A and B are shown apart, each in its own frame.
Chain A
Amino acid sequence: MRKAWNTDATKFYLLISPWIIGFLVFIAGPMLASVVISLTEWSLLRDPVFVGLDNYRNLFRDSRFTQSLRVTARYTLISVPIKILLALIIAMLLDRIKYFRNALRTVFYLPSVVSGVAVVVLWIWMFNPEIGLINYLLGLVGIPGPRWLYDPNWALEALIIMSFWGIGREIVIFLAALQGVPDRLREAAMIDGANSLQVIRNVTIPMISPAIFFNVVMDMISSFQVFTDAYVATEGGPLGATRVTVLYLYQQAFQQLRMGYASAIAWILFFIILFFTLLVFKSSSLWVYYESEVKGGA
């Protein structure tokens, strides 16, 4: 007879306990604390003062906050679809080639493991209007490049282009999904007279739709939370053109010493992300195809 503690359940909880402790101490605890902090005025230097919902009320009168939401929304709306499309195209090309696939996969993934700050510094030089590589290349084809990070009309676009640097993660996920699509399905479609585009549209895309769904959700969440690029490259400038919401949160917390206000921003952002994530989840029944569900239903 096994002792009461020597069960699979005990072992499971014991093994997972480091994560549970970490989650409770470093994530759930601070999250709950930030709810309380968001109801206070707190500079970190003095004891917090309870102000009820004032921080939330003030947020909606704060033109900089609404501007930061607009900037973040624009960043997400433009960057996520392009990243998904680019990653998908590259993954499909990699899936087609026979040689050096693994090497190329590594090459495309490598930028994702480089430190964020180092990458941003690199891009700052690439975007330099005077000596940057990008304007040099544009100049070769007769296009006068913009002033990028120094131009309020182009700075956010520069950050969006920067974000494409890290599509290696999406590529690897798409590639794995593509390699899981059975050849017999493509062959059957071609025998039925489908051309390449029709095969991609009607066979490949539906078969890898769970991977697309996963990448869309993850990219959307991470782009709503973008911080490092704007913090290092522009500090939110010029003229607030790249002041994304998390950067504004940081500035309120540590530069203006308004920790309660910053916590309120964090919660508003949390609910915005939650809303759009649920929206994507809800819509998934319309466009995400799970083979197991069909099999189970049959």
Chain B
Amino acid sequence: MKGRNVRIVAVSLALMLVPVTALLAGGAQEEAVEEDGRKSHLTVTTWETTRGLDDQRLIAEMFQERNPDVTVDVVSPPGNYVERILTQTAGGNPPDVFQIGDVDVRRFGGEGRLVDLNSFIEADPDFDVDDFFGGAFEYGNVGGQQLALPKDYSPLVMFYNRGHFDEAGLDYPDETWHWDDLVEATQTIVDQGLSRYGITFGNLLEDRHIEPFIWANNGAFSNDDGTQMTGYLDSPDTIEAMERIASLVFDRELTPDVSAAEALGGPRQLFYDGNTSVLFWGVWHMEAMDEAGIDFGTAVLPKMERHASVLFWAGYSMFDAVEDRDTAWSLLKHYVSTDAQEIMGETRMTPNRHAAERLGQLDDPRMSTAYELADYAEVPFGLKGAAQANAVPDLNEAFERIFLQQADIAETLRDTARAIEAEHLNQ
């Protein structure tokens, strides 16, 4: 019996020792990193997985070969990426160089935690802003501070099923097409039974998928600096553009509503399966579309009064807690360099002009359309500041009212403008 008691005590002690041992082991690992003789150690944190993560590791290896006194770890935290960055930061262990979305550049920048890269850019003779496509570079600039360098991006593009247009005897859409031309053409395709739907939006309930069409009709969600919505969100031009989209869903049934799109696997799947002739979305889907064997083309978004588009963008930022900022700048610069972007650009649009040329993307008709469209991109409401970013969920509720409840468009937009101003913009 006594022996049994001793065993129980031993087991419980062992259980208690597990976390202690784990902590000690962690410490030992840290020491090992510092003892390998290298001077500097940096991490690159990314949300990428699989191919994207492999690319980033390859780029880090390239950097280490050129900078033998630096070690770089590429970390892809599991779970919700932004939550991990936030909790890491709160725990006193913020990342060094990290991938960041366009909204978070504003939010993190608003809290003053991102290094303004302007001084590095100005002091570095090897770094040339002109190496980048203008729009993509500008998205990392907030109030004159360059808080991020562009990693990759895409404008909202119009994908069309070439087979549907061929069978219906229609010309392919191009930059001369008006919105009404597109509606008429896709109506013909649907009427001939070639496709179930004509036009599918990436997400009818999300501001960024709607805003370019509002701009195209000379409307806007807000004034230029995002501080006023009344007179913009409820302007006749904005209302008219929203009515055009809503009529596709409710009157013509050319566009699937949200639940119908989900029932058929989501907007992307609708296009893959030939259930829609046109899809508005980003170029990062092109690789999968090619793999699915779809015969598709790309075109600029149809104009109403003018052409417009919006960017989906990701970049790299430097956290203000980084001690060795010069080395971090070298790393950051390396990740957007032509050599690195040539690796990343194999599967997506690159913001680096020379990488795009080397990859032949500017000669590829489908990809070059996307680069052309990027020139039409404007800054969406949600990127005009931290308050505007926080107001986006309220704005999206207006789209829920319109597209799920068929609420009166003018009234909904007017009420939303007033509510957002009161709650977010006039604080």
| Bound: A15/B13 CA distance, A | 8
- With known contacts A44-B86, A255-B393, A21–B259 Cβ distance under 8 A: no
Contact yes or no, B86 A14, CB < 8 A? no
A53 at the interface (CB under 8 A from B): no
Instruction: Indicate which residue in B15, B19, B86, B112 contacts A257 across the interface (CB closer than 8 Å).
Output: B86
Task: Tell me the smallest distance from the CB of A230 to a CB of chain B, in Å.
Answer: 14
B1 at the interface (CB under 8 A from A): no
Instruction: Indicate which residue in A18, A45, A129 contacts B111 across the interface (CB closer than 8 Å).
Output: A45
Instruction: Indicate which residue in A14, A18, A45, A239 contacts B113 across the interface (CB closer than 8 Å).
Output: A45
Contact yes or no, A15 B8, CB < 8 A? yes
Chief secondary structure at chain A's binding surface = loop
Contact yes or no, B263 A128, CB < 8 A? yes
The A-B contact count (CB < 8 A) is 75
B260 at the interface (CB under 8 A from A): yes
Instruction: Indicate which residue in B86, B258, B397, B404 contacts A45 across the interface (CB closer than 8 Å).
Output: B86
Contact yes or no, B259 A130, CB < 8 A? yes
| Max chain A C-beta neighbours (<10 A), residue from B19, B401, B404 | B404
Contacts of B264 in A (CB 8 A): 130
- With known contacts A21-B16, A128-B262, A130-B260, A254–B80 Cβ distance under 8 A: yes
Task: Tell me the smallest distance from the CB of B82 to a CB of chain A, in Å.
Answer: 7
Contact yes or no, A15 B404, CB < 8 A? no
A152 at the interface (CB under 8 A from B): yes
Contact yes or no, A15 B12, CB < 8 A? yes
Task: Tell me the smallest distance from the CB of B210 to a CB of chain A, in Å.
Answer: 16
Instruction: Indicate which residue in B5, B90, B390, B401 contacts A239 across the interface (CB closer than 8 Å).
Output: B401
Contacts of A14 in B (CB 8 A): 9, 12-13
- The A35-59 residues at the B interface (CB cut-off 8 A) are 43-46
A131 at the interface (CB under 8 A from B): yes
Contacts of A254 in B (CB 8 A): 80, 82-83, 86
Instruction: Indicate which residue in A18, A44, A132, A238 contacts B404 across the interface (CB closer than 8 Å).
Output: A238
| Bound: A239/B259 CA distance, A | 15
| Bound: A21/B15 CA distance, A | 11
| Bound: A239/B404 CA distance, A | 9
- The B9-59 residues at the A interface (CB cut-off 8 A) are 9, 12-13, 15-16, 19
Contact yes or no, B404 A17, CB < 8 A? no
Q: Which residue of B lies closest to A48 (CB)?
A: B90
A151 at the interface (CB under 8 A from B): yes
| Bound: A147/B406 CA distance, A | 13
| Bound: A257/B107 CA distance, A | 9
- The B144-185 residues at the A interface (CB cut-off 8 A) are none
A150 at the interface (CB under 8 A from B): yes
Q: Which residue of B lies closest to A18 (CB)?
A: B15
B87 at the interface (CB under 8 A from A): yes
Contact yes or no, B87 A44, CB < 8 A? yes
Instruction: Indicate which residue in B8, B80, B111, B400 contacts A238 across the interface (CB closer than 8 Å).
Output: B400
User: C-beta contact mask, B68-96 vs A, less than 8 Å → 1, else 0?
Assistant: 00000000000010110011011000000
Contacts of B397 in A (CB 8 A): 237, 239-240
Task: Tell me the smallest distance from the CB of A250 to a CB of chain B, in Å.
Answer: 9
Contact yes or no, A18 B16, CB < 8 A? yes
Contact yes or no, B400 A129, CB < 8 A? no
Contacts of A255 in B (CB 8 A): 393
Contact yes or no, B390 A256, CB < 8 A? yes
Contacts of A256 in B (CB 8 A): 390
B405 at the interface (CB under 8 A from A): yes
Q: Which residue of B lies closest to A127 (CB)?
A: B259
- The B369-427 residues at the A interface (CB cut-off 8 A) are 390, 393, 397, 400-401, 404-405
Contacts of A101 in B (CB 8 A): none
| Bound: A132/B262 CA distance, A | 11
Task: Tell me the smallest distance from the CB of A1 to a CB of chain B, in Å.
Answer: 14
B108 at the interface (CB under 8 A from A): yes
A11 at the interface (CB under 8 A from B): yes
Task: Tell me the smallest distance from the CB of B357 to a CB of chain A, in Å.
Answer: 38
Contacts of A149 in B (CB 8 A): 259
Contacts of B13 in A (CB 8 A): 14
Task: Tell me the smallest distance from the CB of B295 to a CB of chain A, in Å.
Answer: 27
| Bound: A238/B107 CA distance, A | 25
| Bound: A237/B203 CA distance, A | 15
Contacts of B9 in A (CB 8 A): 11, 14-15
Contacts of A17 in B (CB 8 A): 12, 16
| Bound: A21/B20 CA distance, A | 12
| Bound: A44/B8 CA distance, A | 43
Task: Tell me the smallest distance from the CB of A252 to a CB of chain B, in Å.
Answer: 10
Contacts of B87 in A (CB 8 A): 44
| Bound: A256/B82 CA distance, A | 12
- With known contacts A17-B12, A254-B82, A44–B263 Cβ distance under 8 A: no
Contacts of B405 in A (CB 8 A): 152, 238-239
Task: Tell me the smallest distance from the CB of A149 to a CB of chain B, in Å.
Answer: 8
Contacts of B390 in A (CB 8 A): 256
Q: Which residue of A lies closest to B82 (CB)?
A: A254
Q: Which residue of B lies closest to A63 (CB)?
A: B423
Contact yes or no, B16 A46, CB < 8 A? no
- The B221-235 residues at the A interface (CB cut-off 8 A) are none
Q: Which residue of B lies closest to A15 (CB)?
A: B12
User: C-beta contact mask, B260-283 vs A, less than 8 Å → 1, else 0?
Assistant: 101110000000000000000000
| Max chain B C-beta neighbours (<10 A), residue from A43, A131, A254, A256 | A43
Give 28 pairs: A residue, B residue, CB < 8 Å, sorted on A.
A6-B5, A11-B8, A14-B12, A15-B9, A15-B12, A18-B15, A43-B111, A44-B86, A45-B90, A45-B108, A46-B111, A46-B113, A128-B263, A129-B263, A130-B259, A130-B260, A130-B263, A130-B264, A147-B404, A150-B258, A150-B259, A151-B404, A237-B400, A240-B397, A251-B393, A254-B82, A257-B86, A257-B107
Given contact pairs A45-B86, A130-B264, a sample of 4 additional A-B residue pairs in the complex whose CB atoms are under 8 Å apart: A45-B113, A46-B111, A237-B397, A257-B86
